[in-house]
Structure 1
Amino acid sequence: MKPKSTVWYPTITSSESTLEMSGQDDPIRERLQGIFDEQIDMVERAIKEAMDGDQVPPGNPREAAKSVVAQLEGLVLFAKLFNDPAQLDRLWENSMRLLGVDGVTEAQTAWAAPSGQ
């Protein structure tokens, strides 16, 4: 049997735990919804600010925030599933594309990656 990975992947919540627990217990489901709502609220504020500064095309910032959070959670799940942190490498570049920002390259989004990564 292969030993369990000790690699840690940064995320506020765990997608797989959310999926497993959401149908089992209403208080847990409600708390998880609250956590995701907090994440979406934070991203929505950043998107609104970017829209106000003409850095991101106009649109529905709430729906855009949901897409970014869903992408983050999905990539974290893939990174865990495949035991491959590189699954997260294109997160920021792909997030900019989701927001309709054209011509974004990995180099332009390198500022968003934690130092030493």
Structure 2
Amino acid sequence: MRTVAALLALAVSCSACEQDRAAVPPAERSGNRYTGKALLLSYGCVACHRIRGLPELSGQSGPPLERVAYQSYLAGLLPNTQANMERWIVHPRAISPGTAMPELGVSPAEARDMAAYLYQQVPP
């Protein structure tokens, strides 16, 4: 019985650790989140995605990005890092050719700022 209780306690503590690890660590974050917010609006990202702090539009065909920093994977394929988010924003179809995410012509510098806004909800 003690063994079962110990294993249960370990499983609960490990799942809590996993939740903490899912957030993109501060050391991996860069970019200007204020510029990123403006870019997310100007590229029309809110037409498909729900993004915290930005106006919602009716067409929500893309996944919500409100808690993207806490997801384990991006697009179900890439480990969740800011570098991978930037790659996805710049060339989503190079990563997943059949994705509905369009190639918008976002530069790497713009993608860094956009990712900074998306990851801002994670405490430093």
The TM-score with structure 2 as length reference comes to: 0.28
- Which of the two has higher C-alpha Rg? 2
Q: Whose RCO is larger (CA < 8 A, sep 6+)?
A: 2
The TM-score with structure 1 as length reference comes to: 0.29
